[in-house]
Each structure stands twice: as structure tokens, then as C-alpha cells.
Amino acid sequence: MHNICFHFHISQPFRLRTYRFFDINQHHQYFDDYQNSYLANRLAERCYLPANAMLKELIAKYGDKVKVSFSIAGSSIHLFQQYCPEVIESFKELIATKKVEITGNTYTHSLASLHNKTCFMEQVKLQEKLLKEVFKVRPTSFCNTEIIYSDEIGEWLHEAGYDVVLTEGARHILGWKSPCYLYCNPFQTDLKLMLRSYRLCDDITLRFEEKDWDGMGLTAEKYINNLNKIPDDAPFINLYFDYETIGEYHTADTGIFDFFKALFSQLAENDKYKFITPKEITSMKVPCSTMHAPWPISYSGDEKDTAEWLGNDLQQEAFNQLFKLENLYKKSKNKVAKENWLQLQAADHFNFMSTKWFAHDSVRRNFDVYPSPYQAFINFMNVLNDVKLQLETNPEKKA
Amino acid sequence: MKVLMFGWEFPPHIAGGLGTACYGLTRGLAVNGVDVAFVMPKASGDEDQSLIKIINASDVEVDPRFSPFFQQGGETTYIQVNSQMIPYVGLDDYYNVINQIDSGVFISGNKRRYEFSGRYGNNLMQEVDRYAEVAAEIAKHEQFDVIHAHDWLTYKAGIAAKKVSGKPLVVHIHATEYDRSGEHNINDIVYGLERYGMSEADMVCAVSDLTRRIVIEKYHIPAEKVVTLHNAVVPNDKTVEREKNVKEKIVTFLGRVTFQKGPEYFVETAKKVLDKDPNVRFVLAGDGDMMPRIIERVAELGISDRFHFTGFLRGTDIDKMFGMSDVYVMPSISEPFGISPLEAMRANVPVVISKQSGVAEVLQYAIKVDFWDIDATADAIYGLLHYPALSKLFISKGKEEVDNLKWENVARKLKDIYTKVVNRS
């Protein structure tokens, strides 16, 4: 029997507006309200609301047999609160079924884990606080931004009280080993690692609309047929997706909703498969081995490294300049500027500066608003410069 | 494979990018084993002839009684009978005779030589016609497989050569009348000549997809006859020395100060940047008909102390200018290709170029903006000056990118085009 874990990420950031250098120290509206509202509502309409409704229906029908987990970045929660509060309500209803787990995450879909412990912990704690406020939950498993993970990040999370971390089944780390087993951090063996079977995920995320599945599109039957090929003694199948896969990357007319509905129904009816959520792992199994990740891994590209966000000099410079302000952040009394500094840590801003695939139209660049990586960099740096000035000022004192 | 090529200018004496492109292209063809005989109206003798043969049209003797007259529907050739008498002298011929003293037509016996200026002066149209006469004469004597004509000035020459020899004609569009004059100031005669050349040609090469689209949409040339052949740049062996006499950052515009090049947007951009950061100097290098307006505008904005004019630059002065520059800006309104950003990048200067340029199609390490968007241009300049990671990236990758744009590769594609038209005819 396989335990199957479906996990969905939501990590929509606050997108920046065009902020020119002559705006620095003149005004402090960094965010594109129209774009943010438009995208939040579009996604709510196409993906979040209908997909939540679908899950609710499945849970109502199959009870304990269908379970999923979510990680929702704090910035996305704020986006929903601001522009489409019905999404929050819809998630509350899902959580109330007790079949849905919310895992820990970063507060602003932040890359802080690639910088240092204090910045990362700040993000983790703020997210815990927000989850408690909004959904009244206290997470025990963790899914980092872009499932970035390393031994060190694992240790930090263990110290913060987490038992399970979701990350990539990166081939260059695993070698001959299979992601379908339970692993643990080599230094903190209590910290369990659930590894994503990325080929199976990519079959849906990247290849759902391809027609070379025996000459037709992908169906739940064909997908389960592939799952069946996994050896019977492999206990786990971990499938993590961007939630936007359902309805946005693949729009409703491609049949993605029907696919998931059929997939979940057939798995629920099949005795060979059992839905679980990450927190259930804790009491279930002893890990089969350690997994040693000396350098950060993520679910990006074939390399499963962090080059998508920190691959070129622009990204590194922006990243260094951003986290240089950590002390200023700690000392600052300007709440708005502090919040903005956190928002700038979002991986998306760095993704827009990527020159890794110049002509590549990857799924991840779907929401890119900049004409080139350079303009993304300049815009980010303009905003960062103003945030820095704002962190240095104390609005209350002024008044 | 031998090609008879008609151009209007060739380095070192050039007025714009056409000569530079011809130089690179002919050298690239030579590397690919194509023999080039390059005809130009007025050679000075100091052209680089190491790889190609230059034919000076001013040295060619033509017999006006044989000159082909191009009319609608074909040519009429005056056939010589063994007589000293010329039955008529038409009005044109009459004026030719009248003008021969000040226009430099030299007659010896039946033959005459035209002294071309090779410039873009008042008697341009006359030179274009005479160039065609000379071309016909050359085509009679030279051995070649294909004819290649660069820009409208040489199209009549190309067509004349084609009619005399029956060899296929390739025309090359470096700029169209739409680029030079804008949508509403089209010179009908030039447009007519351009279209005539393109229609008569067996194949039309455009220097960018942008230009190709114009050729198809505005000149109504069948799309399958038009191919894009991007320009490249001749590698520079000497490294440009970074040498600066002022501590301020320098932002440079280099090009003709004409409507097409968008110098006024450069001035407005300068104002935006200077308002925020006075430690920048703007240099406008070039000359042209918009100069008075630009100078007035600079004075009006009160930025004269930070905005400098150098006049027209050439040769080593250009290298020196690049050596001083921190950012190069090309805000062209319509630029079929635009070779100068490549020269800037080769000299390690980051570039901001308008999206309305052909060169934007081949560059990754450049910031591309709409020419009219002075906010975006100013922001790009400010970013390059203030966020060193960006200029460093451009400098390290930009040169590499430009060095990979080789004329050999362009010429290889061109050779394929030649082969195709030769085999077809």
C-alpha cells in the first residue's frame, strides 16, 4: 500500500509597480494595486474558488479517504484579505472539515532561508502568527519557499519545533535512492523529510496538455497506471503542486478539474492507496535513511538548485543589498517600511531578474510584468533604496 | 562565386552606417570564398582592398550613345552607326552638355567620364542616373554571377547591370524612406526608386525583421522574396582605453542629429536624470538638421552646464568618446538596424536602445525601451549608473555577445541566398 500525499502551494506575492528613480524619497507606493487586485481575483475565479469547491465536494463524498495539505504564503493571505476575502472564507471551510492541513511556510514567500537563520526565523514566526490569527492553526510540518531545503535549514526548522519538512526529491542528492521513502535530516534525525516525486508532478504541471499520452491527453487512469508502476514496498508518493496548476496553468477547458476529480475519486476508491497529510507522518514510520543536502535544493529546473533566484550577478547584488538592511529592520520603528522590506524578499522579484533562460517561456514566468530582467532589477533596486530611506526614518517622531 | 556589388560609400570616408556594413559584409564574403568587385561612385584610393576589388565609377568611361534609358516596360538602346553625327540632342542631353563644366563630366571623343561626388548632395538624383550608366558599362566587361545593390541610390545601377548581363539581382535594404522621413514626409521619388529596385530584384535582403515588415507592408513585396539578414560588427583588435578627464559619469548619444535618431528624447531624458543626480554629464556627438532645435531646448531646460556637443566624430575620436562613456543611448524613432550600439558594447559601454530598432532583435545584454518613454529611458540610465552590478554584467557579457555577431556568419547566409538565385535563373 502507498501513502499518497497531495500538497498545494499558494505563493502569490505583492507585485511591484513601475517605480522610477525620481520617485525615490518622493512617495512610497511600491505596489501595483490594479495588477494585484486583477491577478488575485482572476486566480480566485479560475482556480482557488472552484478548486476549493471541488475538494470540498470530494471530502464530503469520501470522508476520511481524501486529504490534502496546503502552504499559503502570508503575502497571499494578505492579498486575499485585501482583494478577495471570499477565498479566505473558502479555505476556512475546508480547514473545518479537518481533512485539510495547513503547513508552515514563509511569511512573504521569502528567500530568507538562503541568507541566514535570524531572517528566516523572523519569516517563520510571522507566518505562524498569521496562520493562528486567520485560520487558528499551529503548523507542525513545514514547506519552505519553492521547497528550498538544506541540512542547515532543516536544523533551524527542527529547533523551531517542526517535525516534518517537505522538499524536492532531487536526483543529484538522492542518487540511486527513491523519493518514495521517508528520510531524515542527518544531524537532527527527528526531523523527517518527505520528498517530492517530481517526474510524476511534472506529468501534470508541464505535460498535462501534451497529446502523446498514447495519442490522447492525460487521464486519471493513465496517471494511476503510472503510479502503479512504483514498487509495492515503497511506502510514500509525495506530489506537490502550485495550486494554480488547477485552472490557471491549465485552464478549466483543458479538463484539469475533471482530471483531478477523477484522480482523487479513483485513488480514494482504490485500497492500494491511502491519502495522508504531512503531520500524520510523525506517528507513522521510522525513516529509512538520512538525506544529506549540504547545499540548498529547490524544485527549480533540472538542476534543482537556487540558480533561478540567485543565478546571476544582478540577483546576487539585489539579494545582498536587501539583506544588508537586516540590522536596520531590527532597529527601525517604521512599521510600514518593515513590512515592505519583508515583501521585497519574495522569490518572485528575483525570478523576474533571471537570465537563465533568455528565450524560455517557463510556467514560472507566467506573471512576469517586466520587459526584461534588467528593468526588473532596476525597479527592484529603486524600491529597495526608498525602503532603506524609510527604515531610517521614524514616522511617529516626525509627527 | 563572384559578385558585382554596388554601394555608395566605403570606409574610411563614410557618412553613416551603410559604408561600415558594406565593409564588414564584403570582408565576410571574402572569408567565405566569394569574390567581390565593389563599385562605388567615388573611391579615394585609401580604401582597404586587401580582400576585395574596388571599382571607382568616376574612372569608368561610358559612351552616352550606348546608355540604356529606363522606361516603363523595358529599355531602349541607341545603336551606334558608324557616323560622327548625332541626330538629336534631347533636352536632358542638352542640359548635360551645358552642365558638364560645373558637374565634372569629362568627354574625350565619344566617351565620357563622370566625376561623382559620392555624397548626398543636391545633384543626388543626377548622380544616381549616371551611376546607372556607369554600371551598365561595368557589367559589360566584368565577369560575375550575381549582382548586389545596397540601398536605393544604387538600385538603378543594379537594375542596369541586370539588364545588360541577365544575371540575378539581390537588393539590400539598410534603410527605407519610412525610416528616414517618417510616415508623413515620404519622398515619392525615393519611394518609387526603392519599390522599383525591390520589384526588379530576385531577392530582397532586409537588415532586420522590423525592416522586413516595412518592405512587405509598405512596399508590397511578396513575403517569400524578402529575407532578414541582420548586420554584424567587425571585431576590434585594439582595446578602447578607459580614459576620463571628469569625475562625473558620462552618458553619450552618437549619431546624426536628425528626426530619425530621436535626439530630442535624449535631451528630455537628460533633464529627468539631472534633476535627481547632477553628477552626470550628457554628450551629444553628431551633427544634423535638428541641431539648432536641440541647442535651444538644452538652453531652455537650463542644463547647458551638464550637456555637451562635440559635432561630428569619426575614427579614433569615436573610440575616445566610447572610452569616456559610462552609458550609451540610442533613442532612435525608427532604426532599420543601428550598428553603433554594437560598437559601444565592443568598447565595454553598456547600452540603452530603443525597441524601434533592428539591433534590439539580436541583443540580449541591452536595455530596450520605447523611444518615446523618457521615464523608462531615464530610469534605465540611472540604474546603469547607480547599480554597479548591472553595468558590470553588461560589460562582461555584452562584449562576448557582440563578438559572436560575426560578418562571416552573415556572409555565409548571404552566400546561400546568392546560390539560390543563381541556380534559379
Is residue A238 within 8 Å of A179, Cβ to Cβ? yes
Helix (H) or strand (E) holding B388: helix B388-403
What is the number of other CB atoms lying within 10 angstroms of the CB of residue A357? 12
Q: Measured between CA atoms, how close is B365 to chain A, in angstroms?
A: 9
What's the confidence (pLDDT) of residue B375?
Answer: 95
CA A274 to chain centre: 24
- Give dist(CA B53, CA B35) in Å, integer: 8
The verdict on A375 touching B (C-beta cutoff 8 Å) is: yes
Chain A CB contacts of B383 under 8 Å are 21, 374, 377-378, 381-382
Rounded CA separation B381/B331 (Å): 12
CA–CA separation, A40 and A361 (whole Å): 22
Report how far apart, in Å, the C-alpha atoms of A90 and of each of A96, A283, B73, B110 are: 10, 29, 77, 97
B209: its cell numbers: 525583421
The model's pLDDT over B228-283, given as tens digits with 9 standing for 90+, comes to 999 988 777 667 777 777 889 999 999 889 888 999 999 999 999 999 999 999 99
Q: Stretch B109-119: mean pLDDT, rounded?
A: 73
| Sequential DSSP letters for A215-245 | TB---HHHHHHHHHTS-TT--EEEEEEEGGG
Interface with B, mutate which of A23, A378, A380, A382 (most B CBs under 10 A) = A378
Quote the minimal CA–CA distance from B170 to chain A in Å.
32
Write the residue in B369, B375, B388 that is nearest to A20 by C-beta: B375
Q: Cell digits for A10?
A: 499558494
Contacts of A88 (CB under 8 A, 6+ apart): A77, A80, A81, A134
Burial class (CB in 10 A: 0-12, 13-18, 19+), A216: exposed
- Which of B382, B388, B389 lies at the smallest CB-CB distance from A21? B382
Of B368, B375, B390, the CB nearest to A371: B368
Closest residue in chain B to residue A358, using alpha carbons only: B364
Structure confidence at residue B234 (pLDDT): 79
Residue of A nearest to B350 (CA): A374
- Partners of B61 in the β-ladder: B113
Residues B131/B154, Cβ–Cβ less than 8 Å: yes
Cis geometry, peptide bond prior to residue B336 (ω within 30 degrees of 0): no
Tens of pLDDT, residue by residue over A77-133, are 999 999 999 999 999 999 999 999 999 999 999 999 999 999 999 999 999 999 999
Cα–Cα dist A345/A342, whole Å: 5
Q: Average pLDDT of chain B?
A: 86
- CA dist A107 and A346 (Å) reads 9
Alpha helical stretches, state H, chain A: 33-43, 49-62, 74-83, 85-96, 117-135, 151-159, 171-174, 198-205, 220-228, 256-269, 278-281, 307-310, 313-323, 326-331, 335-343, 347-351, 373-392, 395-398
Q: Is the pLDDT of residue A396 over 80?
A: no
User: How far is residue B315's CA from residue A22's CA, in Å, rounded to a whole number?
Assistant: 37
Given an 8 Å threshold on Cβ–Cβ distance, is B389 in contact with A358? no
Q: Which of residues 229-288 of A touch B (CB under 8 A)?
A: none
For residue A39, give the amino acid letter.
L
Answer whether A374 sits within 8 Å of B390, measured CB to CB.
yes
How far apart (Å, rounded) are the C-alpha atoms in residues B70 and B281?
53
CA B156 vs CA A37, A384, B58, B204, B217: distances in Å: 60, 59, 17, 15, 22
Strand B203-206 to B111-114 pairing: unpaired
Q: Do A318 and B378 touch (CB under 8 A)?
A: no
* pLDDT above 70 for B93: no
Which residues of B are less than 8 Å from A316 in CB distance? Answer: 389
Identify the closest residue of chain A to B392 by CA–CA distance: A313
User: Does the distance separating the beta carbons of B378 and A22 come in below 8 Å?
Assistant: yes
The alpha-carbon gap from A394 to the nearest alpha carbon of chain B, in Å, equals 24
Of A24, A314, A382, the CB nearest to B393: A314
What residues of chain A lie within 8 A of the CB of B275, using their CB?
A: 22
Work out the angle between the directed axes of helices B374-386 and B263-276 (0-180°, nearest 10): 50
Which grid coordinates are listed for B183? 510616415
Q: Which among A16, A20, A21 is the top mutation candidate for probing chain B, defined by the most B β-carbons within 10 Å of its own β-carbon?
A: A21
A378 touches B: beta carbon within 8 Å = yes
Give the amino acid at A276: I
- Closest chain B CA to residue A377: B390
β-bridge partners, A104: A142
How many degrees, rounded to 5, is the angle at CA A55 between CA A50 and CA A57?
95
Q: Does B113 touch chain A (CB under 8 A)?
A: no
Phi/psi of residue B94, nearest 5 degrees: -60, -50
**Closest listed residue to residue A346, CA positions, set A134, A30, A84, A100:** A30
Judged by CB atoms closer than 8 Å, whether chains meet at B276 and A22 is answered as yes
Whether the Cβ atoms of residue A274 and residue A2 lie closer than 8 Å to each other: yes
Report chain A residues whose CB lies below 8 A from the CB of B368. Answer: 371-372
Q: Look up residue B384 and give its three cell numbers.
A: 546603469
Interface of A with B in 5-24 (CB under 8 A): 20-22, 24
- pLDDT class for B50, splitting at 50, 70, 90? confident
pLDDT value at B77 more than 60? no
Q: What is the Cβ-side half-sphere exposure of residue B306, based on CA atoms within 13 angstroms?
A: 22
Using the Cβ of B169 and the Cβ atoms of chain A, whether some distance falls under 8 Å is answered with no
Residues of A in contact with B400 (CB under 8 A): none
Task: Dump pLDDT digits (tens) for A314-331.
Answer: 999 999 999 999 999 999
Give the least confident one: A62-76, A167-181, B104-118. Answer: B104-118
Looking at per-residue pLDDT, the higher value among A177 and B117 belongs to A177
Complex ipTM tops 0.85:
no
Question: CB-CB: which of B375, B380, B389 is closest to A317?
Answer: B389
* Grid cell listed for A396: 511617529
Indicate yes or no: CB of B387 within 8 angstroms of CB of A371.
no
Distance from CA of B181 to the nearest CA of A (A): 28
User: pLDDT tens digits, residue range B203-235?
Assistant: 999 999 999 999 999 999 999 999 999 998 877
Kindly report the nearest CA distance between residue A28 and chain B, in angstroms. 17
Q: How many CA atoms are closer than 13 Å to the CA of A91, on its beta-carbon side?
A: 25
* Neighbouring C-beta atoms of residue B268, cutoff 10 Å: 17
CB contact under 8 A, A378 and B392: no
Indicate if the pLDDT at residue B80 is higher than 70: no
Which residues of chain B from 258 to 297 reach within 8 Å of chain A, CB to CB?
A: 272, 275-276
Which cell numbers hold the place of B208?
532586420
A contacts of B391 (beta carbons < 8 Å): none
Contacts B369 to A, Cβ<8 Å? 371
Mean pLDDT across the stretch B378-407? 92
Give the nearest chain B residue to A321 (CA atoms). Answer: B387
Question: Which of B356, B369, B379 to probe by mutation at the A interface, max A CB count within 10 Å?
Answer: B379
How many A×B Cβ pairs under 8 Å?
57
What CA dihedral angle connects B12, B13, B18 and B22, to 10 degrees?
Answer: -40
Say which range, A259-263, A359-363, B1-5, B24-28, has the weakest mean pLDDT: A359-363
Q: Is A73 helix (H, G, I), strand (E, B) or coil?
A: coil
Give the β-pairing of B111-114 and B61-62. Answer: antiparallel
DSSP B68: P
And the C-alpha cell for A83? 482583494
* Chain A residues touching residue B388 (CB < 8 angstroms): 317
The answer on pLDDT for B97 being more than 70 is no
For A255, residues 6+ apart whose C-beta sits below 8 A from its C-beta are: A217
Q: Does B75 touch chain A (CB under 8 A)?
A: no
The pLDDT of residue B104 is 53
